[in-house]
Structure 1
Amino acid sequence: MLLVYTHKITPRLKYVFKHICTRVLGIEVDFTTQIENFIAHDSLKMSYTKQQLGNEFFIKNHEILFEQGLNDIEVNVMPWDETRCFFHNGDKSAIPFDIFAASFYLLSRYEEYLPHVKDEFGRFLATESLAFKEGFLHQPVVDIWAFKFKEALQQQFTDFNFPTRKFSIKPIIDVPTVYHFKLKGVLRGIGGTLKELFNLKFKTLYNRFMVVFGLQHDPYDTFKYIINKQKQSNYKFLFFFLLGDFSTYDKGTNPNSKHFISLIKHIADYCDVGLKASYFALENTEVLKKEKIRIEDILNRPLKASRQSFSKLNLPESYRNLIEHEILEDYTMGYVNYMGFRSGTCTPFLFYDLDYEIQTPLKINAYHVLDYALLKKQSLLDKKKALNEIIAQVKQVNGEFVPIFHNYTFSDINRWQGFKELFNIILDAPND
C-alpha cells in the first residue's frame, strides 16, 4: 500500500490518487495528515504538500486539489520526454510536474465547465480542448504520467513488486436504427419513397422495394456478421439500442415492434446490451426513465450502461440524470470527428461532480475512436495507419481500447468499404 502524507485530505485528492494509483497502477493508497503515522509506515510512501519533510519521495502540490468550485487556473503545457504535461512544480519534486493536479483537470473535465464554443448540437468541440490545442489529444497522457510516476517510485522502493495489467478492448456497437428500409411503418415508407423519387435516387428506390418484398437483404442488417465476430472474440461486445420515440433527431425503429424486441433478446444471448438514450432523454429525466424501463422489460434485468444520442453531453446534468436513474456506466465521453482521449485516459474512471465536490458511483468509459472519425481519412491505408497508431498508444500503457462502430458500418454501402477489415485489426490487436 502507498501511504500519502498531505497537509489536508480533500475529496479531489482522494479521487485522483485512487484513479492513478489503484485503477491505473493497481496499488492501494491511503492518506494521512499525521507525520508520526507517515514515518512509521514501512512500505511505499510519499509526501504531497508544499514543503518536503526530509529526504522522502516528494511531489510538490498544485493548489487545484485543495480548492473548491471553479477558478481561473493558469495552464502552461510543457514538453516532458515523449509527451507533454502541465503544472510544473520545480526541481525538488521526484517528478517535474504535479501529475495528480493535471490528471484531475482532465478527468473532471474542468475545461468543459468553463465558457466555450459549442457545435450545432450543443456539444463540446475537440478543437476547444486543451489536449487538441496543445497537441496531446492522441495520447492517454494520464496513464503515461502514471507510468512515469511508477518508474520514479520503483527507483526509490526497489523491493516493491508492482502489479501489471493487460491491454484489453471493449468493442461498442451503436444501433441508432436497426434497418435501412424494414420496420419503418407505412408513413415513413411512403415518405422515403417520395424523397428518393424527388431526388432521382432510383438505385436506392430499387433496393428499397427489393428489401420490402423480401428479395434482398436489408443493408443495415449486419447482426449475423457481428455475432459471428463475437463468437470468435475473447472480448465481450457491447450493443447500444435506441428505444426512444420517433423525433427530429432520432429516427430509430418502433420500440414496440415484436421483431425489434426479438432481435434485442437474440443479441443479448451473445453480447452485452445497453441503452442508447435519445436526444430528448438527455435533458428530460422522465423520457430517460421511460426508455430505461423499455429496455429493462426486454432484457429482464436492470440496465447497466448507457450512451447518449449524438454523443452529446451536458456536464454535469447529463451524468446526474444517469445517477438518479441508477445507471452505473456511460460510454458517451469522446469526440465524434476526432480520434483521441477526451479525458486523457484509457482507463475507466468515476465521474467527479465539480459542483457538489463529490466522487459519484458513475463509471465513465471514454471511447477513443468513432467510425465517423475514420471516414475523414482519405484512403483505407490512411485509416489503417491512424487506427494502428491509436491502438499502439493504448497498448503502451496496457489500457483498455474502446472503439465505436455502428451496425451499418459493416454494410456494403460504398462509404463503409474496408471497415470490416478495420474492425478485424481491432479484434486482432491483443494477439499482435
Structure 2
Amino acid sequence: MILVYTHKITPRVRYIFKHIFTRILLIPVDFTSKVEEFVAHNGPKLSYTKTPLGGEFFVKSNDLLFEQGVSDLEINMQKWDNVPCFFITGPKSSIPFDIFAASFYLISRYEEYLPHVKDIHGRYTAAESLAYKHEFLEKPVVDIWAYKLLDALKEKFPVYTYKERAYEFISTIDIDNAFAYKHKSLVRSVGGFFNDLFKFRLLNVWNRFAVVFNIKKDPFNTFEKILEIKKRYKIRTVFFFLIGDYTTFDTNVSASKNKYRLLIKEMVDYARVGLHPSYFTMQNATLLKKEKERLQDITNMPAIRSRQHYLRFSLPETYQNLTDLEIEEDYSMGYASNVGFRASTCTPFYFYDLDFEIQTPLKIFPFALMDTTLNDYMKLTPKQSLGRIRDLKNEVKAVNGTFITLFHNETLSDYLRWKGWKRLYESMIKIATS
C-alpha cells in the first residue's frame, strides 16, 4: 500500500488517485491529512500538497483537485520526455508535472462542461478537445503518465513488490440494422423498393426481391460469422441492440417482430448483450427507461450495459440518466469523426459527476476506434485501416490497457458501402489478440 498525504482529502483527490494507483498500477492507496500519521508510516508514501514535508516522494499539487465546479482553465502544454503533459510542478517535485490534476481534467471530461460548438447531431466534437489540438488523441496519455510515475516510484521504493496488469481486448458490435431487407414492415419494404427503382439502383432492387422471397440470405445477417470468430479467437464480445421506435435516425427492425426478438435471445446465450439507446434518448430519460424495460422484457435479465446510438451523449445529463436507471457500464466514450482516446485513457473508469462532485457507480469503457470512422469519416481503405488499428493496439498494449473496438454487423456484409470490408473484422481480431 502507498500512503498519500494531502492537506485536504477531497472527492476529486480520492477519485483520481484511486484510478491511477489501483486501476492502472494495481497499487492499493490510502489517504491521510495528519502529518504525524504520514511521518510514522513505514511503507511507500507520497505527499501531494504545495511544499514537501521532508525528503519524501513529493508531487506539487495544482489547485484543480481542491476546487469545486468548472472554470475556464489556462492550459500550458509541454513535453515530459516525448509525451505531451500539462500542469508543470517545479524543481522540488519528484515528477515534473502534476499528472493527478492533468489526468482528472481529461478523464472527468472537464472540457466538455465548458461552452463549446456542437456538431449537427448535438455532439461534442474531437476538434474542440485538448487532445486533438495538441495531437495526442491517439495516445492514452493518462496511462503513459501513470507508467512514468511508476518508474519514479520504483527508483524511490525499490523493495516494494509491484504487480503488473494484463492487456485485454473487447470487441463490441452495434446492431443499428439487424437485417437489410428481412422482417421490415410492408410499408417500408414497398417504399424501399420504389426508392431504389426511382434512383436506378437495380442491383438493390434485385437483392431486396431475392432476400424477401428467400432466394438469398439477408446480407446484414452476419451474426453466425461474428460468433464463429468469437469462439475461434476466444474473445469477449458485446452486442448492443437498437430497439427504439422507428425514426429518421433509428431504422432497425421493429422490436415487436418475433424474428428480431429471437435473434436477441439467441445472442444472450453466446455473448454479452447491451442496450443501444436510440437517437433521441440523449436528454430524454423517459424514453431511455422505456427502451431499457423493452430490452429486459426480451432478454428476461437486467440491462446493465449500454452505448448511445450515433454516440450521442451530453455531459453530465446522459450519464446521470443512465446512473439513475442503474445502468452499470457505458461504452459510448469515443468520437465518431476520429479514432483515438476521447478521455485519454485505455482503462475503464468510473464517471465523475462534476455537477455533484461525486464518483458515480457508472463505469465507462472507452473505445479506441469505430468502423464507420475509418470508412465514412477518414475515407480509409480496409488495408489503410488495418495500419491504424495496429498502431492503436500497440499504444494500448504498451501500457497493458483495455483495447476496445466498435464494429457493426453490416460491416461484415461486403455489401454496398461495406464492399471489401468483410475480411477486415477478422484481420483486426488477429491483430488485437496477437
Query: What TM-score do you get using the length of structure 1 for normalisation?
Result: 0.98
| Unmatched tracts of structure 2, length 5 or more | none
What corresponds to 1:347 in structure 2? 347
1:311-330 equivalent positions in 2, closer than 5 A: 311-330=311-330
Task: After superposing the two structures, state which structure 1 stretch, 266-275 or 77-86, moved more.
Answer: 77-86
What is the Cα deviation at residue 378 of structure 1?
Answer: 3.3
Tell me the equivalent position of 2:373. Answer: 373
Which amino acid letter does the alignment assign opposite residue 102 of structure 2? Answer: A
Partner secondary structure for residue 239 of structure 1:
strand
Post-superposition Cα deviations, 1:346-369, rounded to whole Å, max 9, x if no partner, equal 000000010110110000001110
Deviation at 1:77, TM superposition (A): 0.9
Q: Residues 403 and 432 of structure 2 are in contact (CA less than 8 Å); yes or no, is this contact kept in structure 1? A: no
Task: Output aligned runs, 1:54-65, within 5 Å.
Answer: 54-65=54-65
8 Å contact from structure 2 (residues 219, 410) kept in 1: yes
Partner SS for 2:276:
strand
CA deviation profile, 1:141-198 (whole Å, cap 9, x unmatched): 0000000011100000000111111111110000011101111110001110111111
C-alpha separation between the residues in 2 aligned to 1:57 and 1:303?
Answer: 44
**Corresponding position of 1:356:** 356
In the other structure, the counterpart of 2:105 is 105
Q: Distance in 1 between matches of 2:299 and 2:82?
A: 46
Pair 1:150 & 2:150 matched: yes
* 2:297 aligned residue: 297
Per the alignment, do residues 430 and 244 of structure 1 end up closer, same or farther by CA in structure 2, a change over 3 Å counting?
closer
Structure 2 residue matching 1:164: 3-state secondary structure: coil
Is the CA contact 2:342–2:366 (under 8 Å) kept in the aligned structure 1? yes
| Structure-to-structure mapping, 1:180-195, within 5 angstroms | 180-195=180-195
Asked if the contact 1:343–1:366 (Cα under 8 Å) also holds between the matched residues in 2, the reply is: yes
Q: What is aligned with 1:96?
A: 96
Which residue of 1 is the match for residue 278 of structure 2?
278
Per the alignment, residue 431 of structure 2 pairs with 429
Distance in 1, matches of 2:295 and 2:224, equals 21
Whether contact under 8 Å (1:182, 1:211) holds in the other structure is yes
Would you say how many aligned residue pairs link Structure 1 and Structure 2?
432
Aligned residue in 2 for 1:393: 395
- Cα distance in 2 between the residues matched to 1:30 and 1:104: 18
Contact 1:58/1:93 (<8 A) preserved: yes
1:22 aligns with 2:14: no
CA contact (8 A) 1:230 1:270 kept: no
Q: Report deviation, 1:40.
A: 1.4
Q: Compared with structure 1, are the counterparts of its residues 367 and 203 closer, same or farther at alpha carbon in structure 2 (3 Å cutoff)? A: same
CA contact (8 A) 1:337 1:370 kept: no
Letter in 1 for 2:69: G
Q: Please tell me whether the aligned partners of residues 394 and 401 of structure 1 are also in contact (alpha carbons under 8 angstroms).
A: yes
The residue that corresponds to 1:42 in the other structure is 42
User: For residues 164 and 302 of structure 2, what CA distance do their matches in structure 1 show?
Assistant: 32
Deviation at 1:377?
4.5
Look up the match of 1:333: 333
Preserved CA contact (<8 Å) 2:59 2:93: yes
Cα deviation digits, residues 96-135 of structure 1 (max 9, x gap): 0000000000011000000111100000110110000001
Instruction: Name the structure 2 match of 1:236.
Output: 236
Q: Please give the secondary structure, in 2, of the residue aligned with 1:402.
A: strand
Q: Which residue of structure 1 aligns with residue 222 of structure 2? A: 222
Is this contact kept in 1: 2:196–2:202, CA < 8 A?
Answer: yes
Q: Measure the CA separation in 2 of the matches of 1:281 and 1:379.
A: 33
Deviant stretches of 4+, over 4 Å: none
C-alpha distance in 1 between matches for 2:428 and 2:160: 34
1:361 partner SS: strand
Letter in 1 for 2:400: N
* One-letter amino acid of the structure 2 residue matched with residue 251 of structure 1: T
Q: CA RMSD in A?
A: 1.1
Q: What letter matches 1:93 in structure 2?
A: S
Secondary structure in 2 matching 1:16: helix
Looking at structure 2, the residues matched to 66 and 334 of structure 1 have their Cα atoms a distance apart, in angstroms, of 28
Name the SS of the counterpart of 2:332 in structure 1.
coil
- Structure 2 residue aligned with 1:404: 406
Indicate conservation of the 8 Å contact 2:71/2:114, yes or no.
no
Kept in 1: contact 2:169–2:433 (CA 8 A): no
Which residue pairs with 2:249 in the alignment? 249
Change (3 A) 1:168 1:429: farther
Q: CA deviation at 1:292?
A: 0.7
C-alpha contact (below 8 Å) 2:367/2:405 kept by paired residues = yes
The amino acid of 1:333's aligned partner reads M
Deviation by residue 1:273-313 (Cα, 9 ceiling, x = unmatched)? 00000112222212111111111111111111001110011
Distance in 2 (alpha carbons) for counterparts of 1:265 and 1:276: 15
Deviations 1:350-401 (A, max 9, x none): 0001011011000000111010122125333321111100000000000000
| Mapped contact 1:4–1:48 kept (Cα < 8 A) | yes
The letter of the residue matching 1:182 is K
Q: Which amino acid is 2:418 matched to?
A: W
**One-letter identity of the residue aligned with 1:280:** F
Aligned residue for 1:171, secondary structure, equals strand
CA contact under 8 A between 2:233 and 2:433: conserved in structure 1? no
SS of match in other structure, 1:244: coil
Q: Structure 2 counterpart of 1:396, which letter? A: A
CA contact (8 A) 2:137 2:341 kept: yes
Query: Counterpart of 1:360 in structure 2: which amino acid?
Result: T
1:71-220 equivalences in 2 (<5 Å): 71-220=71-220
For 1:373, the aligned partner's letter is: T
Residue 420 (structure 1) shift: 3.9
Give the structure 2 partner of residue 31 of structure 1: 31
Deviations 1:17-40 (A, max 9, x none): 000000111111111011111111
Q: Deviation string for 1:61-92 (max 9, x for gaps)?
A: 00000000011211011112231100011111
Normalising to structure 2: TM-score of the pair? 0.98
Shift of 1:431: 4.8
Report if the CA contact (8 A) 1:167-1:430 is conserved. Answer: no
Q: Secondary structure of 2:48's match?
A: strand
